């Protein structure tokens, strides 16, 4: 019998250490799955109840001190919705970060020890936060923030839940915006019907819409113009009594969305929606070719600074009208 020698190198082999696989605890995952389920069960609620419940839901499952939905108003940030319902100051810088980097998540585990945020005025009193953007109509329209008074980490399931709620709230905001647009459209249709049925909305001398018509038109149109950040040119002049008939021809030659108002005694107001100053100057030049070189005043209604009743616009037009009277055959601009 032959003995086969054992290879020398086999004597140095060592079996790998025993690998112990520990079953991951499912309690956290199951808790978040239950959170999703509870959230979806309330998704058909009306907007106020849905917003309130969703933020309360996040505050409970993320175990944070405050959850808020922040939206930009000019240069400032305000909490459109907040839970708990306290007057907590909105941290604008993290909200702006979420808006500037949509689709990403800002997580600050220790606001006092983070070199980027330590000492920032918006982080005073905060220990940690997580922030994501809220999309409305395909663009970021706000930010959803979870705020903790103490340093802490945010797990992947917690961040996923934050994104899920931000998507739900974004869709709810879009639906509410569509409801408002529909309501404005209904008002516009009601206005059209009223014009047909009620001669009190027309100026007796010219048959053009009067100031009462203008009040209804403003309610139906300027809210949408402000939402869409669309400027509107406004022109004012006084038509000589013997030439009032020309106003009908002018009204018929306007663009479909433009509006010529006769406020009585020849006082005219021309509104040119979605028209900046350059476009308005071209239209005014064409207008003067029909009416002659009457003194005219003009200004722009700015959606971010002017009111919806044209009070500030009328004040500027008064000043411009005085300037135009002093310079015959001129168009005076204000603002």
Domain that holds residue 90: 27-179
Separation between Cα atoms, residue 20 and residue 43, nearest integer Å:
43
pLDDT tens per residue, range 40-53:
555 555 556 778 78
Residue 14 lies in a domain: no
- For the chain, strand residue ranges (E) read 66-73, 76-83, 106-108, 128-136, 139-148, 232-238, 259-262, 267-273, 296-301, 331-334
Tell me: do 238 and 304 sit in the same domain. Answer: yes
Tell me: do 175 and 202 sit in the same domain. Answer: no
pLDDT tens per residue, range 181-194:
777 777 777 766 66
Tell me: do 163 and 217 sit in the same domain. Answer: no
pLDDT tens per residue, range 67-92:
999 988 877 898 888 998 777 888 99
322: left (phi over 0), alpha (psi -120 to 50) or beta: alpha
pLDDT value of position 110: 94
pLDDT value of position 226: 86
Closest CA to 300 of 218, 234, 255: 234
- The last residue of a domain, from among 179, 214, 247: 179
Tell me: do 41 and 114 sit in the same domain. Answer: yes
Separation between Cα atoms, residue 209 and residue 167, nearest integer Å:
44
On average, the pLDDT of the chain sits at 82
324 φ, ψ to 5°? Answer: -65, -35
Separation between Cα atoms, residue 317 and residue 272, nearest integer Å:
15
């Amino acid at each position: 019998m032959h003995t086969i020698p054992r290879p020398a190198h086999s004597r140095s082999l060592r079996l790998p250490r025993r690998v112990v696989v520990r079953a991951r605890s499912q309690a956290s995952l199951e808790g978040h799955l239950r959170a999703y389920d509870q959230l979806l069960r309330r998704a058909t609620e009306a907007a106020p109840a849905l917003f309130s419940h969703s933020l309360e839901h996040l505050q409970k499952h993320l175990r944070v001190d405050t959850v808020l939905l922040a939206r930009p108003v000019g240069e400032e940030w305000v909490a459109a919705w907040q839970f708990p319902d306290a007057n907590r100051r909105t941290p604008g810088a993290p909200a702006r970060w979420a808006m500037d980097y949509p689709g990403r998540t800002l997580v600050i585990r220790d606001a006092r020890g983070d070199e980027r945020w330590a000492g920032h005025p918006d982080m005073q009193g905060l220990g940690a936060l997580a922030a994501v953007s809220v999309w409305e109509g395909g663009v970021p329209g706000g930010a959803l923030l979870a705020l903790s008074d103490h340093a802490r980490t945010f797990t992947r399931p917690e961040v996923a839940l934050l994104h899920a709620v931000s998507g739900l709230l974004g869709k709810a905001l879009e639906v509410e915006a569509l409801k408002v647009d529909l309501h404005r459209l209904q008002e516009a249709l009601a206005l059209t019907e009223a014009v047909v049925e009620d001669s009190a909305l027309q100026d007796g001398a010219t048959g053009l819409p009067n100031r009462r018509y203008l009040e209804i038109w403003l309610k139906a149109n300027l809210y949408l113009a402000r939402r869409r950040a669309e400027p509107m040119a406004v022109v004012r002049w006084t038509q000589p009594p013997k030439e009032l008939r020309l106003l009908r021809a002018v009204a018929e030659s306007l663009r479909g969305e433009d509006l010529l108002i006769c406020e009585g005694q020849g006082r005219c107001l021309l509104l040119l929606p979605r028209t900046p100053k350059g476009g308005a100057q071209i239209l005014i030049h064409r207008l003067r070719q029909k009416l002659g070189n009457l003194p005219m005043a003009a200004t722009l209604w700015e959606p971010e600074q002017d009111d919806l009743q044209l009070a500030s616009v009328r004040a500027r037009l008064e000043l411009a009208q005085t300037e135009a009277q002093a310079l015959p055959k001129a168009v005076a601009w204000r603002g």
